[in-house]
Amino acid sequence: MQPCSRDSRGSFDPPRRCRAGGLVALALCLPFGASAAAGQEILAVRACTGVGEASGISGLLQLERWITSAPFRYYGRFQDAAGNLHELEVRTADTGGGVGSVWTNGMRHRETHVHLAVAADTAFVLRSEDGAVVSYRCTRPPG
């Protein structure tokens, strides 16, 4: 069994890196961010672009179902015009949104807490702890 590991950006590697079976996989891998092999199901992927103050930021937002007490996870990877990578993670009990965090360029230790509000599957709004509001419009990516 290979342990779950981080890649060079500090993000966790895809499920190929975490190969354990059954409950052992869940116990060892879920707390470390492992994906499909450890009980995750991807429900939707949307291509999203920032509007207003966030114009120039775009990327993918993924909705996943997990076998945990907060069964839904939103995870997004967005890039701005300057080339910075912004990542978003929100775990919640329903698909309407919740509280999570955003961090830039792999620096999760410097994350900002945010509230995510989802409007159907075509838009979402992030409200940061300092009161800033960022809106996104989403579509289904091709393919």
Q: Are residues 46 and 95 in the same domain?
A: yes
Contact 69, 48 (CB under 8 A): no
pTM over 0.85: no
Indicate whether 95 and 35 sit together in one domain.
no
> Are 44 and 34 in the same domain?
no
**What is the C-alpha to C-alpha distance for residues 118 and 88, in angstroms, rounded to an integer?**
14
Q: State how far the Cα of 136 lies from the Cα of 138, in Å rounded to an integer.
A: 6
pLDDT by 10s per residue, the chain, length 143: 333 334 444 443 333 333 333 333 333 333 444 444 456 899 999 999 998 777 789 999 999 999 887 899 999 999 999 999 999 999 998 888 999 999 999 999 999 999 999 987 789 999 999 888 999 999 988 76
Sign of the four-CA dihedral 18, 68, 43, 116: negative
121-130: b (≥16 Cβ within 10 Å) or e: eeebbbbeee
State whether 85 and 24 are in the same domain.
Answer: no
CATH number, domain with residue 122:
2.40.128
Structural domains of the chain, count: 2
Question: How confident is the model at residue 33, as a pLDDT?
Answer: 44
Beta strand segments in 32-84, E: 41-51, 58-65, 72-79
Which domain covers residue 8, as residue numbers? Answer: 1-39
Q: Which structure tokens are listed for 143? A: 């393919």
Burial class of residue 13 (count of CB atoms within 10 Å of its CB; 0-12, 13-18, 19+): middle
Please tell me whether residue 34 adopts helix, strand or coil conformation. coil
